[in-house]
Amino acid sequence: MMLEVKDIDRIIEMAWEDRTPFEAITYQFGLKEQDIIELMRKEMKPSSFRMWRARVQGRATKHSKKRTFGKGRFKCSRQRTITNNSISKR
């Protein structure tokens, strides 16, 4: 499969995002986790690749089945609620 430059850029961006699971990249671009790792290794500087691998290895949010939350976005219990475009006071 031949990827365009804009697709490669988007895959790299999604791979760096903590909350974007590998499954989302697979669904959108048809690349398996190992393919994503190989793409990152090829497209990034060696030091950047090592930093990325250390960051995503074992991270539960990068795998849908390891997440502690289901659908929707994760919301921290300490996160303030937003009501009518103003941040609520505690």
Domain tally for the chain? 1
C-alpha span between 25 and 18 (Å, rounded): 13
Render pLDDT for 4-40 as a digit per residue (tens, 0 to 9): 999 999 999 999 988 788 888 898 999 998 999 999 9
pLDDT of 45 strictly over 90: yes
| Other Cβ atoms closer than 10 A to 40 | 19
For position 20, what pLDDT does the model report? 84
pTM of the model: 0.66
Render pLDDT for 50-70 as a digit per residue (tens, 0 to 9): 999 988 887 766 665 655 555
Supply the range of the domain harboring residue 45.
5-87
Distance of CA 78 to the CA centre of its chain: 22
C-alpha span between 46 and 54 (Å, rounded): 12
The full length of the chain comes to 90
